Amino acid sequence: MSKDIDKDLDKIIKKKKNKNSIFLNILLVITLFIGLFYFIMNIDNNINNFINNFILVLFTITFVIIGFRSNIKKSGIIVLSSLLLIGFYGYNFINKNINNVSNEKLINLSGKKIDKVIDWSTKNNVELDYIYEYSDIVPVNFVISQDIDNNTPIEEVKKVKISISDGANPDKLVVIPDMSGWTDEQVINFVEENYLGNVSVEFVQSDEKENTVIEQSTKGTIKRSDPLKLTFSYGLELSYDEVNLRDLVGMSKFRTIFYLKQNHINYEFDEGTSSKYDKDTVMKMSVDAGTKIKINSDPIKVTISRGKEIKMIDVKNKTINEVTKWIVSNRLKIKIEDQYDDSIDKNHIIKADKNKNDVLVSGDTVTIYVSLGKLKMEKFDNINDFYSWASKYDIEYVVENEFSDSVDAGQVISYSVKSGDTIKNGDIITVTVSLGKKIKMIDVTNMTKNKATKELKNAGIKYNITYRSSDSVDEDVVISQSIRAGSEINTNTTVTIVVSSGKAKTEPRNNNAGNNNNNSGNNNNSNNNSSTTNPTTPTATCTPGTVTVGGELANIFANPESYNSVYSQLSSYFNRSQFDNVTIKIIGDSTSGATPGSFISGIKPGDVLETCTGKTYTITIAK
């Protein structure tokens, strides 16, 4: 009996040991994976952090190996140690991320070169917006300022607008003092310190001191780009007839001109590109430095650098930061335009205004078009919202009209692209606009006015009445209607009916009225002898009727969104059946200076248009 009990106890102990062993092994594996994950996630460029994390993960691996081989009696210590180690990793990982979020601040970008700023923005996922400004202090392509204060938490910053130095402003005003008696070095230093860009010099014979200013063209306030001519004295005579030519390579264009004129050396300039020498700097000369040059002899040729020759790269599908860095590193200027594109990822380049391999030089401006990603069709409450949206994103569209029993006239029945769908490149959206319920125009000609108006009311057709005399149609009978019978119209259509006012009246006419040769005693005889009947002007035979322009026209011009929007609305309005026999011409005027889409001249609400073949009515809108 006791033996059986001992066997049962052994089985229970073995089962317990097995369960403890499985749990322990799983815990050790979890500890190992957490240690490796922590090490991988914290790899960076800091060598000290790398060494510390490597030692820590090495310790974890050693601990896990020992744990697998340990005696079951020590399992409690191993479990506790594993849990402490996991807790240590978790605490450090969370604490580091919290510190990174809370401590990462926007740095001061001012004074930094733009390519370094781009590297920083890419690393910190901050978008940059650029403008160029002149600066006498900050070098070209260095940041002058930023629109967000440094030390702002980086998590609050999505975009930073920076101003980049474009060098000295050529139109800045400077005061030119009286330079009489100034030496050559004084003048050169003043010109360079004030960035004067249009200074010419001459050297003439004079009894004034050699190499001093004796005359100047301008004094007082001028722009840096305005011309300034300075005349120097070379003394009473030249004491030399040849000059040892100095090395001009690397000198500025102004200093070069000054030196050559001062030493009476004739010269010719040409231009070339150079990756070594900056713009407006001498890159080579036709005569070696140290050569003896006869004064006023044949000219030497001096080549001025236009800057580095740059071949445009293919920018399509590159990131904005990649291309911007390339542009500014080559001392080019950048202009950024945004537009949607279904084939190019967001913040990648769609195209540039320069083609691949186009030759550029420093200072040229490159416009790049950056993708905003895919443009989704929006849901619009009314047609004007759609017109505004389409104009904003340069979306092409056409307007079609059709009758509808369920959609009011002027309201949108459907768009060819569903809300939420992507607008693909080159898509033209078709907008179907309701003409309202379809009605067939009835024939009211030869009816009395009362009967005609009653029939029109019963048919749900709006109408206007005009009168005209007629020798053939009885008074108060309809002569004609502006819309032919059987035409398909909608409930908003207004027909004009022409009603006879009866036969035209005749009036006596005195042929001698106003004749000064007749005396007053003969007036009665003269009047009696000249009485005649004069019929009214015959009715025009080309006019079957008229149509009145409705007040909707005023609504179209109330808040014009764009030329295209107003043009489409006008086309839709005058496309209605009541204008079938009227020729309408819409003209865009780009010279008025008015808001695009504004009314300038032509047809107005309330105007009555004749439905006469061959007659054209014009409406002019600002473009």
CA neighbor of 184 nearest in space, from 214, 216, 217, 213: 213
pTM for the model: 0.48
Asked if the 439-510 domain carries CATH number 3.30.10.20, the reply is: yes
Mean pLDDT in residue range 446-472: 91
Query: Do the domains 309-373 and 439-510 sit in the same CATH topology, yes or no?
Result: yes
CA 217, CA 225: separation in Å to the nearest integer?
Answer: 14
What confidence tier does 178 reach under pLDDT thresholds 50, 70, 90?
A: very high
- The answer to whether 278 touches 306, Cβ cutoff 8 Å, is no
Selected residue with higher pLDDT from 407 and 185: 185
Mean pLDDT in residue range 400-406: 86
**DSSP single-letter state for residue 274:** -
**pLDDT at residue 500 tops 60:** yes
Mean pLDDT in residue range 445-468: 91
Q: Would you list the domain boundaries of the chain?
A: 2-102, 114-165, 173-305, 309-373, 439-510
What would you report as the CA-atom Rg of the chain, rounded to the nearest whole angstrom? 45
Q: What own/partner pairs with CB < 8 Å and gap ≥ 24 does 91-96 have?
A: 92/38, 93/38, 93/41, 93/42, 96/42
**DSSP single-letter state for residue 246:** P
> What confidence score (pLDDT) does residue 96 get?
64
Local structure of 80: helix, strand or coil: helix
What confidence tier does 424 reach under pLDDT thresholds 50, 70, 90?
A: confident
Residue 94 one-letter amino acid? I
Other beta carbons within 10 angstroms of residue 507's beta carbon come to 8
Helices (H), 313-416: 320-329, 383-392
**pLDDT at residue 487 tops 60:** yes
Residue found by looking up tokens 């006419």 in the block? 509
What confidence tier does 535 reach under pLDDT thresholds 50, 70, 90?
A: very low
Asked if the 114-165 domain carries CATH number 3.40.50, the reply is: no
Pick from 15-19, 290-294, 355-359, 426-430: least confident: 15-19
Selected residue with higher pLDDT from 9 and 42: 42
Q: pLDDT for 373-390, tens place per residue? A: 899 999 998 888 888 888
Q: Distance of alpha carbon 122 from its chain centroid, rounded?
A: 23
- The answer to whether 595 touches 563, Cβ cutoff 8 Å, is no
Count Cβ neighbours within 10 Å for each residue of 394-415 and write b for 16 or more, e otherwise: ebebebebebbeebebbebbeb
Mean pLDDT in residue range 183-191: 96
Residue 437 CA: distances (Å) to CA of 201, 476, 489, 575, 597: 84, 31, 8, 16, 29
> What confidence score (pLDDT) does residue 131 get?
86
- The answer to whether 169 touches 134, Cβ cutoff 8 Å, is yes
CA–CA–CA angle 144, 145, 151 (5° rounding): 135
**pLDDT at residue 542 tops 50:** no
> What confidence score (pLDDT) does residue 533 get?
35
- The answer to whether 442 touches 472, Cβ cutoff 8 Å, is no
Let me know if 324 is exposed, middle or buried by CB neighbors in 10 A (0-12, 13-18, 19+). buried
What confidence tier does 552 reach under pLDDT thresholds 50, 70, 90?
A: confident
What confidence tier does 3 reach under pLDDT thresholds 50, 70, 90?
A: low
Residue 295 one-letter amino acid? I
Q: pLDDT for 259-279, tens place per residue? A: 999 999 999 999 998 888 988
What confidence tier does 507 reach under pLDDT thresholds 50, 70, 90?
A: low
Q: pLDDT for 55-77, tens place per residue? A: 888 888 888 888 777 765 567 77
**Non-local CB neighbours of 547 within 8 Å, separated by 6+ positions:** 482, 483, 494, 495, 496, 578, 579, 582, 608, 609, 611
Pick from 104-113, 205-214, 597-606: least confident: 597-606
Mean pLDDT in residue range 214-222: 95
- Average pLDDT for the chain: 82
Let me know if 597 is exposed, middle or buried by CB neighbors in 10 A (0-12, 13-18, 19+). buried
Q: How far apart are the first and last CA of the chain?
A: 111
Q: What's the token pair of residue 427?
A: 């898509």
Asked if the 173-305 domain carries CATH number 3.40.50.720, the reply is: no
Asked if the 309-373 domain carries CATH number 2.60.120.260, the reply is: no
Other beta carbons within 10 angstroms of residue 3's beta carbon come to 7
CA–CA–CA angle 355, 356, 361 (5° rounding): 80
**pLDDT at residue 16 tops 70:** no
Other beta carbons within 10 angstroms of residue 534's beta carbon come to 8
In the chain, % of residues over pLDDT 90:
34
- Looking at the DSSP bridge assignments, the partners of residue 230 are 201, 216
